Amino acid sequence: MQPDLQTVYSSGSQDVAAQQNTVLRNTYLLLAVSLIPTVIGAAVGTNFVNFSFMRSSPIMSMIVMLAVFYGWIFMIEKNRNSVLGVGLLLGFTAFMGLMLAPLLQSILSLRNGGQLVMMAAGGTAAVFFVLSGIASSTKRDFSFLNKFMMVGFVVIMLAVVAQIFLQSPLMQLVLCGAFIIFSSALILWQINAIVRGGETNYVSATLSLYISLYNIFTSLLQILGLTSGDRD
C-alpha cells in the first residue's frame, strides 16, 4: 500500500514548523540569558574599572577591541554546534558588558544619567519587540535585506574608522542613527530567517540578535547623552 502523499507532505511540513519554533524559542531563551552576563560585566566595569587608558590611547584601544571582538565571534561561530559555543557566547556578552562601562560612566556622570539609561533600555526593548513581532508574523520574505546589510556594514565600518580620527559630534550622531537602522534591519532579517527555516542554529541567531540589541542600546544612549544630557 503506497503512502498518502498529502499525509507525508503534511507530516514533513509539521516537522519543519516544529524545528523552526524550537530554534526561535531557544534563540529567545539564550538571548534573555545572555543579558545577565552583560549586566554583571557592565556593573563591574562601571564601578571597579578605570578606563582612562582607553581615553589616552583611543586608536590602539579600538584596534585591540575590534581584534578581540571579531576573534571571539569567529570562535563562537566555529563552535556553534556544541556546548562550548554557548559558553563562549555567554563569555562574549560579559566582555561586551565590560566594554559598555566607559559609556555608562560618561552618561551616569550627567545629572539625568540614570533616566537616560532607562530611556535607552526601554527604547531598545520596544524596537526589538515591534520588529520581532513583524518579522515572525508577516508572510513577507526579508531576505532581500541581505545585500543592503552587506553594503551597510562596509560603509559603517569605514565611517567608524574615520570617526576615530575626526572625533566629530555631528558625525557621531549620524553614525548612531546608521547603527540603529542597520541593526533594526538585521533583527528583521534574522528572525524572519528563523521563521522561514533559513537559520537553524540558535547560537548563531542569538549572537546576531545580541549584537543588534547592543548596537541599538549604545546608539540610543549616545544620542540621548549628546542631545538631552543635563550637565552641571
**Confidence grade of residue 16 (pLDDT, cut at 50, 70, 90):** low
- Could you give the C-alpha distances from 160 to 95, 127, 148, 155, in angstroms and in order? 20, 23, 18, 9
Q: Where does residue 167 fall: left (phi above 0), alpha (psi -120 to 50 degrees), or beta otherwise? A: left
> What's the mean per-residue pLDDT of the chain?
88
Q: Residue 231's pLDDT is what?
A: 65
pLDDT exceeds cutoff 50 at 209? yes
Quick one: average pLDDT of 91-113? 94
Q: Quick one: three-class SS letters along 60-86?
A: HHHHHHHHHHHHHHHHHHHCCCCHHHH
The number of folded domains in the chain is: 1
Q: Residue 14's pLDDT is what?
A: 60
Q: Which domain does 115 fall in, by range?
A: 5-228
**Confidence grade of residue 12 (pLDDT, cut at 50, 70, 90):** very low
Question: Do 91 and 41 touch, CB atoms closer than 8 A?
Answer: no
Helices (H), the chain: 5-48, 52-56, 58-78, 83-108, 113-137, 145-166, 169-195, 202-228
pLDDT exceeds cutoff 50 at 134? yes
pTM for this predicted structure:
0.89
